[in-house]
């Protein structure tokens, strides 16, 4: 089976004028008698998101800030009864919305006080995309497309089906990164996304419940987060990161820098539990890293900040609970001891801990993950060769050796960002980040056959920082 979707018109899309029994049988323009007397003030709301614009009796056409088919949604009318799908709905009583697909034609038609109010379930400026799907693995796709250059483009969080159908969206006012699901230790589901200053946590119904940044301590002020990553253990226990502009005096003498101190971007990681900072790591506490930088390492100017490390990912090693961090401008993945912040090993970059060969080295890599069999997988952007790969290592940490290595070339080049997940026996699900040429933004590949079972393309307007598939 091969399914192709173009510009948000899923197969089998239908016009919906309302919801529930009889949905789609009555066009929005059909006259329906008023359901009851009107008070001087009346309004309506949809539980999934805000009406856009805000409700006014004189405005009859609306969009929503958010909608989903993954959670129950209801319409409520205040101040008067209404008629929806030929059913009288009393004032102040939620009316459940039943809809299987969110398409450009999906709408709610509500007759209230002698007038018809139409709520479009998919905004007119929702990002256009195309999808081809040929037996992809089941799951929900999480993405938050944004644009480096067209900063006025609308921004949405999106969850799609494996065939590309819209299951959830939320409009945002600023670009978002790393939209993903967290399943906490107690089984509770949370979602999160990062913006330029905070990480926002959503509950299982996609309602915002918390925002986090780097907390102030006696040693430093509060900082805005780094947008790259966020780890969540429970509602009160999480890891955030920041890029902190600071002046340091520990740059080695052989690296030219001002006598008054070098201005750098410190990679900063903070763990918080029950409101207390329980762990912090600052890259500038490890001056040996300055000389290992492969990019962003001009320490000579006090006018600009040297982004010599450029943190982009943090995970917890399930084997020993220590941290694994990725640094784009060190071309290396580091393991950090969680008890004292010491560097346990470096994989990649100059003179690393494992004696990597040129083939085994990564260039501006992203998204390390420990696979179920214990191997370390990395999205190797391959900036040095302009060829992106997925690489895996079986590390012998005690001996400092690489016992097995594998590289899978993608046949394309992602110069920044990117993510990869193993799905099933042989499939890889990929967020393709900032591409060198126009092509798929999200893709699934069967490694055994080389077949692309899923491709999603926004064209040349949007890019994706990461993409996740949740089975």
The pLDDT tens digits of the residues spanning 74-131 come to: 999 999 999 998 889 999 999 999 888 899 999 999 999 999 999 999 999 999 999 9
Question: How far is Cα 455 from Cα 130, in angstroms, rounded to an integer?
Answer: 8
Same domain membership, residue 171 and residue 102: no
User: CB-based contacts of 32: which residues, under 8 Å, 6+ apart?
Assistant: 26, 83, 86, 111, 116
Domain-located, residue 391: yes
Are residues 456 and 161 in contact, defined by beta-carbon separation less than 8 angstroms?
Answer: no
pLDDT score of 38 more than 80:
no
Question: How far is Cα 204 from Cα 409, in angstroms, rounded to an integer?
Answer: 37
Domain-located, residue 278: yes
Same domain membership, residue 116 and residue 137: no
Same domain membership, residue 364 and residue 267: yes
Mean pLDDT of 392-399: 98
Domain-located, residue 462: yes
pLDDT at 35: 53
Same domain membership, residue 345 and residue 278: yes
Same domain membership, residue 247 and residue 380: yes
Phi, psi of 130 (to 5 degrees): -125, 150
Domain-located, residue 9: no
Same domain membership, residue 189 and residue 71: no
Question: How far is Cα 23 from Cα 322, in angstroms, rounded to an integer?
Answer: 53
Choosing from 75, 95, 120, the residue where a domain stops is: 120
Mean pLDDT of 433-442: 91
Domain-located, residue 10: no
Are residues 96 and 56 in contact, defined by beta-carbon separation less than 8 angstroms?
Answer: no
Mean pLDDT of 120-144: 97
Nearest Cα neighbor of 240 from 274, 279, 202, 208 is 279
Same domain membership, residue 455 and residue 333: yes
Q: Which domain holds residue 114?
A: 15-120
Q: Is 429 helix (H, G, I), strand (E, B) or coil?
A: strand
Same domain membership, residue 174 and residue 109: no
Domain-located, residue 319: yes
Choosing from 65, 93, 120, the residue where a domain stops is: 120
284 φψ region: left (φ > 0), alpha (ψ -120 to 50), beta (else): alpha
pLDDT at 37: 61
Same domain membership, residue 136 and residue 90: no
Same domain membership, residue 174 and residue 295: yes
Domain-located, residue 378: yes
pLDDT score of 17 more than 60:
no
Are residues 169 and 101 in contact, defined by beta-carbon separation less than 8 angstroms?
Answer: no
Helix (H) or strand (E) holding 80: strand 73-80
Quick one: pLDDT band at residue 13, thresholds 50, 70, 90?
very low
How high is the mean pLDDT of the chain? 91
Same domain membership, residue 21 and residue 153: no
Task: Indicate which CATH number applies to the domain containing 168.
Answer: 2.120.10.30
Domain-located, residue 152: yes
Same domain membership, residue 224 and residue 140: yes
Question: How far is Cα 222 from Cα 213, in angstroms, rounded to an integer?
Answer: 7
Quick one: pLDDT band at residue 39, thresholds 50, 70, 90?
low
Q: Is 23 helix (H, G, I), strand (E, B) or coil?
A: coil
Name the domain count of the chain: 2
- pLDDT (tens digit per residue) in 205-260: 999 999 999 999 999 999 999 999 999 999 999 999 999 999 999 999 999 999 99
Choosing from 60, 94, 120, the residue where a domain stops is: 120
Please state which of the ranges 2-11, 131-140, 387-396, 428-437 shows the lowest mean pLDDT. Answer: 2-11
């Amino acid at each position: 089976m091969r399914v192709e979707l173009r510009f948000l018109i899923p197969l089998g899309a239908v016009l919906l004028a309302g919801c529930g029994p009889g949905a789609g049988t009555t066009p929005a323009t059909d006259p329906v008698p008023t359901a009851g007397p009107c008070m001087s003030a009346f309004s309506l709301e949809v539980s999934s998101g805000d009406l856009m614009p805000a409700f006014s009796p004189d405005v009859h056409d609306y969009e929503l800030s958010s909608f989903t088919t993954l959670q129950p949604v209801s319409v409520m009318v205040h101040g008067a009864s209404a008629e929806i799908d030929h059913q009288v709905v009393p004032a102040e009583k939620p009316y459940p919305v039943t809809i299987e697909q969110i398409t450009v034609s999906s709408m709610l038609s509500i007759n209230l006080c002698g007038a018809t109010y139409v709520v479009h379930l998919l905004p007119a400026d929702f990002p256009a995309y195309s999808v081809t799907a040929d037996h992809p693995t089941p799951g929900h796709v999480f993405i938050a497309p944004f644009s480096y250059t067209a900063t006025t483009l609308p921004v949405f969080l999106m969850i799609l089906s494996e065939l590309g159908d819209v299951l959830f969206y939320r409009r945002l006012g600023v670009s978002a990164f790393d939209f993903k699901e967290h399943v906490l230790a107690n089984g509770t589901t949370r979602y999160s996304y990062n913006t330029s200053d905070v990480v926002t946590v959503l509950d299982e119904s996609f309602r915002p419940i918390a925002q986090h940044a780097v907390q102030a301590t006696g040693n430093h002020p509060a900082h805005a987060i780094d947008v790259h990553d966020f780890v969540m253990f429970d509602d009160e226990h999480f890891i955030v990161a920041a890029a902190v502009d600071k002046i340091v005096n520990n740059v080695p003498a052989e690296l030219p820098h001002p006598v008054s101190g070098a201005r750098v971007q410190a990679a900063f990681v903070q763990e918080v539990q029950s409101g207390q900072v329980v762990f912090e790591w600052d890259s500038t506490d490890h001056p040996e890293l300055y000389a290992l930088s492969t990019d962003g390492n001009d320490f000579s100017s006090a006018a600009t900040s040297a982004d010599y490390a450029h943190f982009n990912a943090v995970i917890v090693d399930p084997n020993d609970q220590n941290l694994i961090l990725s640094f784009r401008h060190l071309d290396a993945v580091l393991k950090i001891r969680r008890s004292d912040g010491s560097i346990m090993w470096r994989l990649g970059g100059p003179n690393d801990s494992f004696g990597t060969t040129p083939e085994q080295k990564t260039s501006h890599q992203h998204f390390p993950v420990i696979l179920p069999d214990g191997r370390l997988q990395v999205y190797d952007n391959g900036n040095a060769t302009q060829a992106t790969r997925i690489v895996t290592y079986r590390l012998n940490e005690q001996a400092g050796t690489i016992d097995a290595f594998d590289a899978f070339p993608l046949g394309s080049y992602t110069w920044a960002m990117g993510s990869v997940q193993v799905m099933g026996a042989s499939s890889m699900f990929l967020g393709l980040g900032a591409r060198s040429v126009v092509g798929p933004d999200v893709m699934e590949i069967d490694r055994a056959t080389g077949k692309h079972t899923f491709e999603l393309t926004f064209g040349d307007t949007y890019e994706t920082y990461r993409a996740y598939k949740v089975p």
